[in-house]
Structure formats: C-alpha cells, structure tokens
C-alpha cells in the first residue's frame, strides 16, 4: 500500500512517519521546498516532537518515506491519500478554507479510480461531503463511485503525537459505507489504537468539534467560578479540588486565557452556519476576556500600570511546547501596553528574534533589570525552581496558571495574585 500525506506540518509529518513505521510506503507532499528537502534527507524540521527525528531517519533510511512538492504526482501513485492541512479563521472569525481548497485541487489533478481520500483537518460539519467532495470530482471521478471519501479527525497534541496516536481511539466516518469501511481497514493497518466507526462523515466531523468545544465551555465555567471566588475572597483551587472528589465533578483549571490550534478555533467552526449555539459563543467570550481580567488585577495591585515594566513568562500557549498559536501572551501584552505599561516576553523555547518576529518585546537580558511585576503564562519545566530574587524591583507576581506556591512568592516580599485565589 502506498500512502500520500498532503501537508507535512506539525501533525502531518508525524502521521507520515507513523504510517511508514507500520511498513507502508509513504510520500509526503508540501509546498515548502525546504521542508521537503529536509525530510528527503532524513532530517527533522519540527522541533520538540518526541520520537519524530528518529522515526524520520529510520523511515527514510528504509526507503519507506519520501517527500515532494508535487502533490498531484504523489497522489497519482497512491492508493490512500490523507489530507491534513489547516483550516483556520479569517479576521472576522469565519472558516478560512483557502489552504484546504488549494490542497484539494492538487489532489484532484492526480486522483485515480478507486483511491481512498481521508480528510483529517478539523472542519465545519458537512465540509467533507459538500466542499471537499465536489472539488475532488473535478478529476472526472464521482464521489463514492469513482473514489472513496472519508473523514477522521486528528485527536493529538503537539509534543506527544505518537503517544496520542496509540492511546486515543480513531474515529472514522465516510460519505458512504464502502468509504467508511475502507478507511477503517486503513487505520487498522496504520495505527495501533482502536478504531471507532460512526454513521457518516458528518458525525465524525461533529465528534471533533463537540469534544473540543466541551473543553472550552468547561474552562469558561472554571474561569467564571474563579472570578466569583476572587469577588468573595475564596480560593477556587482549594474548592475545585474538594469538589472534584465527587466523581461527577470535573472542574477545570482557570487561567488567563486559552490558546492553541484547536480550543480557541473549533467553536467558531461549529458555529459557522450561524449563531444558533449560545453556550459555545459565551464560552469564547469568557475565555477571551481572562487576559484583560488578569491585567486588571495587576493594575489594581500596582496602583496603575503607566510606566510599569511587566515581564510575561512563556510565549507558548502551553508548557513545554514550542508553539505560540493563539497564546494568551498576545492578549496580555496588548492589554498591558494599552494601559501604558511596557510588556516584556521571555520563553526559553523561543529566541529573542522569534519573540520580536511575533510582534512582542523580548526580555533581554534575562532576567531583565527592574521589573515591577511578573506574569506566569506558561510554566515550562525550565521555569520551575525559578529564583524570584533575581528579578530586582519586582513587587507583584500574577500567577496566570495557579502554578506557583503563594508562600514562596510571599517569602520574597512580593504580592501573590492568582486567578480565583
């Protein structure tokens, strides 16, 4: 079996390596010629994905993984095509299909009879059948009769993709029964996880949107309760831990916002057909407001922010991952600067030049002299055991993830601010 993976990004490339590790012949296609060159030489262009560099080296050396910029040619030689290119949001928070449409058109140019095409990108319900299918039919082949088409959502997290591929069941739905069954058979061969077949492609699309929106809504609930706890002088961390001792309570961790490729984006894909869903919309509003809430706590504690210097620790959207997609740091920095503060950003996983390229002020040198406040946004392992005494002049620590010890902060003579604490 020859497999073409369309899109060699931070998820597509590990998928290609995974398929190759199961003995399949894999060609990855991507418009990035430099990335394609690296993969072809057995080099790993993705930083921080556990096991990926070794998997690529082994697969290339064994002749089971190659890469190309010519998607149509790669598809022409494949029996299975897995499409994993991003669908993001436009500035008005509508689905941006531009990269998917471009990839689909390239796949159509190489599509041959009997090929199984599987979409893994997170998309609005109906995209596989109503958008991808018609584009592929430009090949002259009919969906279901000339080629098979299925949807299977990726359910992995950057930094732990190979582990997630093993532990999370693979959800599969097709535009017809034959497409679904073909996709189930493929994943049974390419993965080790259990495969769950659902009724159709639309159900499989809905699964991914529902599970990530569930998390967003529950984080919003935790944030609302944390604001309530602050207002009434309560410690939400203590209360949540006690509440979660009851098996039906699963209160999440509050914080200064929600980042990443999925949780801040997928609710908008779910709501793409119109504002008929009230809770997801409200959850987005609540979670997007938490950075401003944290900035407000700092402003009150410092007696104003104009002329203050505030250091934000962590550009990444979560700890120990070199990825800044929709990181809360951007909203924190904007909020601080709007109130007259000077926001500095440090992250051990990003260079000062990368921080600057993201439109932020890098903290150079580190620790910077004379900061008025610290904000913990992503507590990387490198920050654990951080010497707070090294930050001269710091009076306030905003623990945006409730990850520090209040006693240790206060022992340094600094004011501790948590979210709901």
Q: Which of 200, 233, 255 is the last residue of a domain?
A: 200
CATH number at residue 84: 3.40.50.720
Kindly compute the dihedral angle of the four CA atoms of residues 204, 206, 210, 213, in this order, to the nearest 10 degrees: 120
Q: Which pLDDT value is given to residue 176?
A: 98
| 274 shares a domain with 193 | no
| 165-189 pLDDT, tens digit each | 999 999 999 999 999 999 999 999 9
pLDDT of 274 over the 80 cut: no
| 279-306 pLDDT, tens digit each | 999 999 999 999 999 999 999 999 999 9
| 252 shares a domain with 190 | no
Q: Which pLDDT value is given to residue 98?
A: 97
| 248 shares a domain with 156 | no
Tell me whether residue 228 is in a domain: no
Average pLDDT score over the chain: 96
Q: Which of 200, 234, 259 is the last residue of a domain?
A: 200
Tell me whether residue 219 is in a domain: no
DSSP 200-238: SHHHHHHHHHHHHHHHHHHHHHHHHHHHHHHHTT--HHH
Q: Which pLDDT value is given to residue 206?
A: 97
| 248 shares a domain with 187 | no
Tell me whether residue 227 is in a domain: no
Q: Which pLDDT value is given to residue 47?
A: 87
Tell me whether residue 46 is in a domain: yes
| 381 shares a domain with 316 | yes
Tell me whether residue 209 is in a domain: no
Q: What domain range includes position 8?
A: 2-200
The residues, ordered by sequence, that sit 6+ positions from 85 with a Cβ below 8 Å of its Cβ are 6, 7, 9, 12, 99, 100, 102, 103, 121
| 62-114 pLDDT, tens digit each | 999 999 999 999 999 999 999 999 999 999 999 999 999 999 999 999 999 99
Tell me whether residue 193 is in a domain: yes
| 183 shares a domain with 248 | no
Residue 40 burial (CB < 10 Å; 0-12/13-18/19+)?
A: middle
User: What is the rounded distance in angstroms from the CA atom of residue 173 to the CA atom of residue 199?
Assistant: 6
If pLDDT is split at 50, 70 and 90, which confidence band does 275 have? low
| 253 shares a domain with 184 | no
Phi, psi dihedrals of residue 295, rounded to the nearest 5°: -65, -40
Tell me whether residue 116 is in a domain: yes
Compute the average pLDDT of residues 384-391: 90
Query: Catalytic residue positions?
Result: 262
pLDDT of 401 over the 80 cut: yes
| 194 shares a domain with 262 | no
| 403 shares a domain with 277 | yes
| 170 shares a domain with 119 | yes
User: Structurally, how many domains does the chain consist of?
Assistant: 2
| 253 shares a domain with 161 | no
């Amino acid at each position: 079996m020859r497999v073409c993976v369309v899109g060699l990004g931070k998820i597509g490339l590990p998928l290609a390596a995974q398929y190759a590790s199961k003995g399949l012949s894999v060609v990855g296609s991507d418009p990035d010629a430099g990335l394609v060159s690296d993969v072809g030489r057995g080099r790993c262009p993705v930083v921080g994905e556990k096991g990926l560099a070794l998997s690529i080296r082994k697969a290339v050396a064994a002749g089971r993984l190659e890469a190309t910029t010519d998607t149509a040619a790669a598809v022409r030689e494949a029996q299975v095509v897995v499409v994993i290119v991003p669908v993001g949001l436009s500035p008005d928070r509508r689905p941006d299909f531009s990269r998917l449409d471009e990839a689909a058109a390239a796949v159509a140019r190489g599509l041959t009879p009997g090929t199984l095409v599987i979409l893994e990108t997170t998309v609005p319900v109906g995209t596989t059948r109503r958008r991808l299918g018609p584009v592929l039919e430009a090949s002259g082949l009919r969906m279901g009769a000339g080629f098979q088409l299925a949807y299977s959502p990726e359910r992995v997290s950057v930094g732990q993709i190979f582990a997630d591929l093993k532990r999370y069941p693979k959800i599969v739905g097709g535009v017809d029964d034959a497409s679904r069954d073909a996709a189930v058979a493929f994943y049974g061969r390419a993965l080790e996880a259990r495969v769950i077949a659902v009724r159709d492609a639309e159900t499989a699309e809905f699964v991914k949107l529902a599970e990530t929106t569930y998390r967003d809504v529950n984080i919003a609930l935790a944030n609302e309760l944390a604001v309530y706890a602050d207002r009434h002088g309560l410690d939400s961390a203590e209360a949540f831990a006690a509440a979660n001792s009851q098996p039906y309570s699963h209160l999440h961790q509050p914080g200064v916002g929600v980042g990443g490729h999925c949780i801040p984006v997928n609710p908008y894909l779910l709501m793409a057909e119109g504002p008929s869903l009230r809770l997801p919309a409200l959850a987005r509003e609540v979670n997007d407001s938490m950075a401003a809430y944290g900035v407000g706590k700092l402003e009150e504690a410092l007696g104003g922010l104009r002329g203050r210097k505030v250091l934000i620790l962590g550009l990444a959207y979560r700890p120990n991952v070199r990825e800044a997609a929709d990181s809360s740091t951007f909203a924190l920095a904007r909020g601080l600067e709007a109130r007259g503060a000077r926001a500095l950003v440090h992250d051990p996983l990003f260079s000062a030049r990368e921080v600057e390229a993201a439109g932020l002020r890098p903290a150079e040198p580190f620790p910077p002299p004379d900061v008025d406040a610290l904000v913990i946004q992503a507590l990387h392992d490198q920050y654990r055991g951080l010497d707070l005494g090294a930050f001269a002049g710091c009076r306030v620590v905003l623990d945006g993830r409730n990850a520090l010890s209040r006693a240790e902060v206060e022992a340094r003579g600094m004011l501790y601010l948590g979210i709901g604490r």
